[in-house]
Amino acid sequence: MISVIGLVVLIVMVFGGFALTGGNIEVVLHALPHEMLIIGGAAAGATLVATDIRGIKGIAGGLAAIVKGPKFKKADYSAAIYLTARLMKLFRNDGAVAVEPHIEDPKSSSIFAEYPQFLKEPVFLHLLTDSIRLLVVSTGTLSPHAVEEVIEQAIETHHVAALKPVERLQTMSDALPALGIVAAVLGVIKTMASIDKPPAILGGMIGSALVGTFLGVLLSYGIIGPCATRLKAVIDQDGEIYQVIRRVIVASLKGQPQPLVIEAARTAIGPDNQPSFAEIFDGLRAAR
């Protein structure tokens, strides 16, 4: 929501400031639809050339994420610690046979049933179950370092894929000033074809042409660029919850006492969503 407010402030300040300083806003508004058609159409076409349908869906989903913000809230981070710690405790205390039904069919698991929000998150669910499944199917003692490397690689692969819409938005942002120049040049060509017109008409046509340059720069640095930055921040913040899984599993494999497991998981979470040590410790005791 704050992103929408920021967009409204930007538009009001730019166009309102122009009008307050004596600018003829009618010239801008008259040229705006045509210039937007050229610049926006060119940007959309270039994006279609550069990506596929999955990429287009990713951009649409990314724009929705900008408005909604991070999907994981503070309570979800605490729940992620509880869930992963309980599964690892079951694995350590009762063995692979006890934990296997929970990871093979999470929807029928009594433990997962207490944290239903994660059943709707396939990336989280697969990372958690696949990581513990690795422990279940392995023979002998697994190296915690080797397990950590595998989980880190899985997280990195997902994160790189999740950032693709950011890259596409940033590429679009970089291209928009040049596309604005394209629109402006077309306006100049149109003006030169009417060179015999009176100065007042030529002035209006030149002004309309310059709206293309203005619009390209505004869209790039005022809207699309900040959207890419915001989307990256949202994706990075949501990615912290996967580090919780990694740290709980690795610390448990190392045989660390529960307080260290908790602290290892908590410190992977940013300050905005980080629960207190007492909150997690008491929550785990209550979940036994």
Query: Which two tokens mark 272?
Result: 């905005």
Whether 147 and 184 have beta carbons less than 8 Å apart is answered as no
Q: Which of 83-87, 178-182, 189-193, 232-236 has the lowest mean pLDDT?
A: 189-193
Q: Which two tokens stand for residue 56?
A: 């287009």
Q: Which of 14, 17, 80 is nearest to 214 (CA)?
A: 14
Query: Cα torsion at 44, 49, 50, 56 (round to 10°)?
Result: 50
pLDDT given for residue 219 in this prediction: 94
- Segment 90-127, tens digit of pLDDT: 998 888 899 999 999 999 999 999 999 999 999 999 99
- Identify the residue whose tokens are 């992103």: 3
**Contact call for residues 220 and 43 (beta carbons, < 8 A):** no
pLDDT digits (tens, 9 = 90+) for 251-261: 998 888 888 99
**Among 3-7, 67-71, 236-240, which stretch is predicted with the lowest mean pLDDT?**
3-7
